[in-house]
Structure 1
Protein backbone atom coordinates (compact mmCIF):
# COMPACT_ATOMS: atom_id res chain seq x y z
CA UNK A 1 0.00 0.00 0.00
CA UNK A 2 1.24 3.48 -0.89
CA UNK A 3 1.65 5.38 2.40
CA UNK A 4 2.58 8.70 0.74
CA UNK A 5 0.25 11.67 1.08
CA UNK A 6 -1.95 12.08 -2.00
CA UNK A 7 -4.32 14.81 -3.13
CA UNK A 8 -7.19 13.29 -1.13
CA UNK A 9 -5.20 13.48 2.12
CA UNK A 10 -5.02 17.28 2.19
CA UNK A 11 -7.73 19.24 4.02
CA UNK A 12 -8.36 22.96 3.72
CA UNK A 13 -7.02 24.67 6.85
CA UNK A 14 -4.57 21.84 7.60
CA UNK A 15 -1.20 23.09 8.88
CA UNK A 16 2.12 21.31 8.51
CA UNK A 17 4.96 22.26 10.88
CA UNK A 18 8.07 21.83 8.74
CA UNK A 19 10.84 22.41 11.26
CA UNK A 20 13.52 25.00 11.85
CA UNK A 21 17.00 25.92 10.71
CA UNK A 22 19.72 28.04 12.29
CA UNK A 23 21.58 30.19 9.77
CA UNK A 24 25.30 30.52 10.37
CA UNK A 25 27.48 33.36 9.13
CA UNK A 26 29.50 30.87 7.06
CA UNK A 27 26.38 29.51 5.31
CA UNK A 28 25.08 33.03 4.73
CA UNK A 29 28.26 34.30 3.09
CA UNK A 30 28.83 31.10 1.09
CA UNK A 31 25.35 31.34 -0.46
CA UNK A 32 25.77 35.07 -1.07
CA UNK A 33 29.15 34.64 -2.76
CA UNK A 34 27.65 32.09 -5.15
CA UNK A 35 24.19 33.53 -5.79
CA UNK A 36 23.62 37.05 -4.40
CA UNK A 37 26.96 38.85 -3.96
CA UNK A 38 25.70 42.16 -2.60
CA UNK A 39 27.71 43.97 0.12
CA UNK A 40 25.06 43.59 2.88
CA UNK A 41 25.28 39.80 2.43
CA UNK A 42 29.08 39.64 2.41
CA UNK A 43 30.65 42.52 4.36
CA UNK A 44 29.91 43.12 8.06
CA UNK A 45 30.72 46.83 7.91
CA UNK A 46 28.63 47.47 4.79
CA UNK A 47 25.81 45.43 6.32
CA UNK A 48 25.82 47.49 9.55
CA UNK A 49 25.34 50.67 7.50
CA UNK A 50 22.58 49.23 5.32
CA UNK A 51 18.84 49.35 6.01
CA UNK A 52 19.12 45.68 6.99
CA UNK A 53 21.09 46.52 10.15
CA UNK A 54 23.56 43.66 9.98
CA UNK A 55 24.89 40.81 7.92
CA UNK A 56 21.69 39.60 6.28
CA UNK A 57 20.70 36.37 4.60
CA UNK A 58 19.75 36.74 0.95
CA UNK A 59 16.00 36.50 0.48
CA UNK A 60 16.70 33.75 -2.05
CA UNK A 61 18.62 31.89 0.66
CA UNK A 62 15.63 32.21 2.99
CA UNK A 63 13.41 30.81 0.21
CA UNK A 64 15.88 27.94 -0.35
CA UNK A 65 15.85 27.09 3.37
CA UNK A 66 12.05 27.10 3.34
CA UNK A 67 12.09 24.83 0.26
CA UNK A 68 14.44 22.39 1.96
CA UNK A 69 12.21 22.23 5.04
CA UNK A 70 9.13 21.81 2.81
CA UNK A 71 10.80 18.93 0.97
CA UNK A 72 12.00 17.22 4.17
CA UNK A 73 8.81 17.86 6.15
CA UNK A 74 6.14 17.20 3.52
CA UNK A 75 7.00 16.70 -0.14
CA UNK A 76 9.36 13.74 0.24
CA UNK A 77 6.62 11.78 2.00
CA UNK A 78 3.97 12.66 -0.54
CA UNK A 79 2.99 11.91 -4.12
CA UNK A 80 4.05 15.40 -5.19
CA UNK A 81 4.48 15.89 -8.92
CA UNK A 82 6.07 19.35 -8.71
CA UNK A 83 4.64 22.85 -8.87
CA UNK A 84 3.59 25.12 -11.72
CA UNK A 85 5.24 28.11 -10.04
CA UNK A 86 5.05 30.52 -7.13
CA UNK A 87 2.24 33.07 -7.09
CA UNK A 88 3.45 35.28 -4.23
CA UNK A 89 6.76 35.54 -2.43
CA UNK A 90 7.37 38.31 0.13
CA UNK A 91 10.38 39.06 2.29
CA UNK A 92 9.09 41.04 5.26
CA UNK A 93 12.06 41.31 7.65
CA UNK A 94 15.74 40.54 7.22
CA UNK A 95 17.08 37.25 8.49
CA UNK A 96 20.43 37.94 10.14
CA UNK A 97 23.45 35.74 10.82
CA UNK A 98 22.63 33.54 13.83
CA UNK A 99 18.85 33.72 13.39
CA UNK A 100 16.78 30.57 13.60
CA UNK A 101 13.92 30.33 11.11
CA UNK A 102 10.92 28.07 11.53
CA UNK A 103 8.59 27.17 8.69
CA UNK A 104 5.01 26.03 8.42
CA UNK A 105 2.63 25.70 5.51
CA UNK A 106 -1.16 25.67 5.44
CA UNK A 107 -3.55 24.21 2.89
CA UNK A 108 -5.57 27.11 1.50
CA UNK A 109 -7.62 25.27 -1.13
CA UNK A 110 -7.55 22.30 -3.44
CA UNK A 111 -9.17 21.10 -6.64
CA UNK A 112 -8.88 18.15 -8.99
CA UNK A 113 -7.60 18.91 -12.47
CA UNK A 114 -10.26 18.36 -15.14
CA UNK A 115 -7.64 18.14 -17.89
CA UNK A 116 -5.43 15.66 -15.97
CA UNK A 117 -7.71 13.40 -13.89
CA UNK A 118 -4.72 11.67 -12.26
CA UNK A 119 -3.69 14.96 -10.59
CA UNK A 120 -5.02 17.43 -8.07
CA UNK A 121 -3.80 20.93 -7.27
CA UNK A 122 -3.29 21.94 -3.63
CA UNK A 123 -2.75 25.63 -2.91
CA UNK A 124 -0.46 26.36 0.07
CA UNK A 125 0.54 29.42 2.07
CA UNK A 126 3.93 29.08 3.73
CA UNK A 127 5.07 31.27 6.61
CA UNK A 128 8.61 31.68 7.88
CA UNK A 129 9.22 33.11 11.36
CA UNK A 130 12.45 33.98 13.15
CA UNK A 131 13.27 32.99 16.76
CA UNK A 132 11.39 36.09 17.99
CA UNK A 133 8.31 34.80 16.15
CA UNK A 134 8.48 37.71 13.71
CA UNK A 135 7.19 36.99 10.23
CA UNK A 136 10.16 37.17 7.85
CA UNK A 137 8.77 35.57 4.67
CA UNK A 138 5.55 34.34 3.12
CA UNK A 139 5.06 32.28 0.00
CA UNK A 140 1.87 31.20 -1.76
CA UNK A 141 1.84 28.54 -4.45
CA UNK A 142 0.05 25.51 -5.83
CA UNK A 143 1.60 22.03 -5.83
CA UNK A 144 0.47 19.07 -7.94
CA UNK A 145 -0.23 15.71 -6.28
CA UNK A 146 -1.26 12.33 -7.62
CA UNK A 147 -4.85 11.33 -6.87
CA UNK A 148 -5.51 7.93 -5.30
CA UNK A 149 -8.93 7.71 -6.92
CA UNK A 150 -7.44 7.76 -10.40
CA UNK A 151 -4.93 4.91 -9.93
CA UNK A 152 -5.62 1.71 -11.78
Structure 2
Protein backbone atom coordinates (compact mmCIF):
# COMPACT_ATOMS: atom_id res chain seq x y z
CA UNK A 1 0.00 0.00 0.00
CA UNK A 2 1.06 3.57 -0.52
CA UNK A 3 0.05 7.02 0.57
CA UNK A 4 -3.46 8.11 1.38
CA UNK A 5 -4.38 11.71 0.50
CA UNK A 6 -3.02 14.36 2.88
CA UNK A 7 -5.23 15.47 5.75
CA UNK A 8 -7.17 12.26 5.58
CA UNK A 9 -8.94 11.32 8.78
CA UNK A 10 -7.59 7.89 9.56
CA UNK A 11 -9.28 5.50 11.94
CA UNK A 12 -7.76 2.33 13.36
CA UNK A 13 -9.14 0.31 10.44
CA UNK A 14 -7.16 2.49 7.99
CA UNK A 15 -3.80 1.66 9.57
CA UNK A 16 -3.26 -1.71 7.95
CA UNK A 17 0.16 -3.37 8.12
CA UNK A 18 2.19 -2.26 5.14
CA UNK A 19 0.58 1.17 4.80
CA UNK A 20 3.36 3.71 4.18
CA UNK A 21 2.75 7.44 4.19
CA UNK A 22 5.09 10.18 3.01
CA UNK A 23 4.92 12.76 5.79
CA UNK A 24 6.72 15.53 3.93
CA UNK A 25 9.96 17.37 4.50
CA UNK A 26 11.32 20.03 6.79
CA UNK A 27 14.60 21.96 6.69
CA UNK A 28 16.72 22.99 9.65
CA UNK A 29 18.98 26.02 9.99
CA UNK A 30 21.96 26.80 12.19
CA UNK A 31 20.06 29.45 14.21
CA UNK A 32 17.23 26.95 14.84
CA UNK A 33 19.69 24.28 15.97
CA UNK A 34 21.40 26.67 18.37
CA UNK A 35 18.15 28.13 19.76
CA UNK A 36 16.65 24.70 20.46
CA UNK A 37 19.86 23.40 22.01
CA UNK A 38 20.36 26.46 24.22
CA UNK A 39 16.90 25.84 25.63
CA UNK A 40 16.84 22.04 25.87
CA UNK A 41 20.20 20.35 25.12
CA UNK A 42 23.08 22.82 25.64
CA UNK A 43 25.96 20.54 24.76
CA UNK A 44 28.86 22.30 22.98
CA UNK A 45 28.41 20.47 19.66
CA UNK A 46 24.80 21.80 19.54
CA UNK A 47 25.38 25.43 20.62
CA UNK A 48 28.93 26.46 19.62
CA UNK A 49 29.57 26.40 15.86
CA UNK A 50 33.24 27.36 16.26
CA UNK A 51 34.05 24.95 19.08
CA UNK A 52 32.01 22.16 17.47
CA UNK A 53 34.52 21.99 14.59
CA UNK A 54 37.03 20.35 16.95
CA UNK A 55 34.35 18.24 18.62
CA UNK A 56 33.36 14.61 18.04
CA UNK A 57 31.18 15.40 15.00
CA UNK A 58 33.50 17.85 13.21
CA UNK A 59 30.91 20.62 13.29
CA UNK A 60 27.61 21.79 14.67
CA UNK A 61 24.82 19.19 14.80
CA UNK A 62 21.18 19.27 15.85
CA UNK A 63 20.10 17.70 19.10
CA UNK A 64 18.45 14.35 18.51
CA UNK A 65 15.49 15.68 20.48
CA UNK A 66 15.22 18.58 18.03
CA UNK A 67 15.16 16.05 15.17
CA UNK A 68 12.40 14.13 16.95
CA UNK A 69 10.42 17.35 17.53
CA UNK A 70 10.58 18.27 13.84
CA UNK A 71 9.58 14.72 12.95
CA UNK A 72 6.65 14.79 15.36
CA UNK A 73 5.30 17.90 13.65
CA UNK A 74 5.35 16.10 10.30
CA UNK A 75 3.65 13.06 11.83
CA UNK A 76 0.88 15.21 13.34
CA UNK A 77 0.30 16.90 10.00
CA UNK A 78 0.39 13.76 7.82
CA UNK A 79 0.17 10.53 9.86
CA UNK A 80 -2.12 10.79 12.87
CA UNK A 81 -5.53 12.44 12.72
CA UNK A 82 -6.57 15.04 15.28
CA UNK A 83 -9.99 13.50 15.79
CA UNK A 84 -8.88 9.89 16.12
CA UNK A 85 -5.44 9.92 17.72
CA UNK A 86 -5.52 9.06 21.41
CA UNK A 87 -1.80 9.55 21.96
CA UNK A 88 1.13 7.23 22.23
CA UNK A 89 1.79 4.35 24.56
CA UNK A 90 5.48 4.84 24.01
CA UNK A 91 8.44 4.37 21.76
CA UNK A 92 10.14 0.99 21.54
CA UNK A 93 13.27 2.20 19.82
CA UNK A 94 15.00 5.44 18.85
CA UNK A 95 18.17 5.53 16.76
CA UNK A 96 20.11 8.44 15.31
CA UNK A 97 22.43 6.74 12.77
CA UNK A 98 23.86 10.02 11.43
CA UNK A 99 23.87 13.59 12.75
CA UNK A 100 21.60 16.31 11.41
CA UNK A 101 23.53 19.39 10.31
CA UNK A 102 22.60 23.00 9.51
CA UNK A 103 20.94 23.24 6.11
CA UNK A 104 19.74 19.63 6.08
CA UNK A 105 16.29 18.86 4.73
CA UNK A 106 14.66 15.99 6.55
CA UNK A 107 12.21 13.67 4.81
CA UNK A 108 9.78 11.76 7.07
CA UNK A 109 8.04 8.48 6.23
CA UNK A 110 5.82 6.33 8.47
CA UNK A 111 4.78 2.71 7.97
CA UNK A 112 2.42 0.45 9.88
CA UNK A 113 4.22 -2.61 11.23
CA UNK A 114 1.35 -4.07 13.30
CA UNK A 115 -2.25 -3.20 14.10
CA UNK A 116 -4.51 -4.88 16.65
CA UNK A 117 -7.78 -4.09 18.36
CA UNK A 118 -7.54 -3.27 22.06
CA UNK A 119 -8.93 -6.12 24.15
CA UNK A 120 -9.85 -3.89 27.09
CA UNK A 121 -11.23 -0.92 25.08
CA UNK A 122 -12.90 -2.06 21.83
CA UNK A 123 -13.44 1.53 20.67
CA UNK A 124 -9.76 1.73 19.74
CA UNK A 125 -6.83 -0.07 18.26
CA UNK A 126 -3.12 -0.12 18.84
CA UNK A 127 -0.74 0.48 15.98
CA UNK A 128 3.00 -0.08 15.96
CA UNK A 129 4.70 2.13 13.39
CA UNK A 130 8.16 2.52 11.93
CA UNK A 131 9.17 6.14 11.40
CA UNK A 132 12.15 6.74 9.15
CA UNK A 133 13.80 10.11 8.57
CA UNK A 134 16.43 10.73 5.90
CA UNK A 135 18.41 13.79 4.93
CA UNK A 136 18.52 15.35 1.45
CA UNK A 137 21.10 12.74 0.38
CA UNK A 138 18.77 9.91 1.39
CA UNK A 139 20.94 9.00 4.38
CA UNK A 140 19.12 7.82 7.52
CA UNK A 141 19.23 10.31 10.41
CA UNK A 142 16.42 8.98 12.64
CA UNK A 143 14.59 5.71 13.05
CA UNK A 144 11.96 5.07 15.67
CA UNK A 145 9.24 2.58 16.42
CA UNK A 146 6.16 4.06 18.07
CA UNK A 147 3.01 2.60 19.59
CA UNK A 148 -0.18 4.67 19.24
CA UNK A 149 -3.80 4.35 20.28
CA UNK A 150 -6.27 5.19 17.49
CA UNK A 151 -10.07 5.39 17.65
CA UNK A 152 -11.91 2.75 15.65
CA UNK A 153 -14.45 3.70 13.02
CA UNK A 154 -16.52 0.65 13.98
CA UNK A 155 -16.01 0.02 17.72
CA UNK A 156 -17.94 -3.22 17.82
CA UNK A 157 -16.22 -5.10 14.99
Q: Same fold (TM over 0.5)?
A: yes
Partner of 1:98: 103
Which SS does the other structure have where 2:68 is aligned? Answer: helix
Which SS does the other structure have where 1:26 is aligned? Answer: helix
Structure 2 unmatched runs, 5+: 1-7
Normalised by the size of structure 1, how large is the TM-score? 0.94
What is the number of residues matched between the two proteins?
A: 149
> What is the alpha-carbon distance in structure 1 between the residues aligned to residue 149 and residue 89 of structure 2?
8
Structure 1 unmatched runs, 5+: none
RMSD, matched Cα: 1.3
Partner of 2:60: 55
Partner of 1:71: 76
Q: Which runs of 4+ in 1 moved over 3 A?
A: none
Q: Residue 93 of structure 1: CA displacement?
A: 0.4
Contact 1:40-1:47 within 8 A present in 2 as well? yes
Normalised by the size of structure 2, how large is the TM-score? 0.91
2:94 to 76, 89, 92: 89
Which SS does the other structure have where 1:85 is aligned? Answer: strand
